[in-house]
Homo-oligomer: A and B are copies of this chain.
Amino acid sequence: MATVPLLSDEEASAEALAVFDDIRATRGTDYVNNFWRALAHDPALLRATWERLKVVMGPGALDPLVKEMIYVAVSTANGCEYCVHSHTAAARAKGMTPAQHSEMLAVIGMAMQTNGIVTGLQVPVDDIFKA
């Protein structure tokens, strides 16, 4: 259960519906997922979040699939269940293979492990790593 009700198309305001429409058009699907339905209580935050997401996750210097995997990595480290599920699904939709999924998990695990050991050791940053 969310801390706010999820708004159906009928319950959403005109401003929120306009964002839903753009989500549908951009993604080529009629399905609007729960995150946007929860955000619909605040159409300004809904629009700002969606507009920014389109820019950040769109084509650029990084492959869209790589962006989704970075998204999953951050969401995993932050323990965000919804985000892990939704962006793992998005990565799959963009072509992530089972072998790539496994390797991503192995890298996440490796990073978590050394994050812990380095922090426990309080290793000082080498001069050669500084920009």
Distance between Cα atoms of A113 and B120 in the complex (Å):
14
Is B41 a contact partner of A77 (Cβ separation < 8 A)?
no
Q: Is the CB of A126 within 8 A of B45?
A: no
User: A116 near B109 (CB under 8 angstroms)?
Assistant: yes
Q: Is the interface of A mostly helix, strand, loop or mixed?
A: helix
The interface residues of chain B lying within 8 Å CB-to-CB of A79 are 78-80, 119
Report B-chain residues with C-beta under 8 Å of the C-beta of A130: 1, 85
0/1 string, A4-46, CB within 8 A of B gives 1: 1110000000000000000000000001011100110110010
Closest to A99 in B: B61
A66 — nearest CB in chain B belongs to which residue? B66
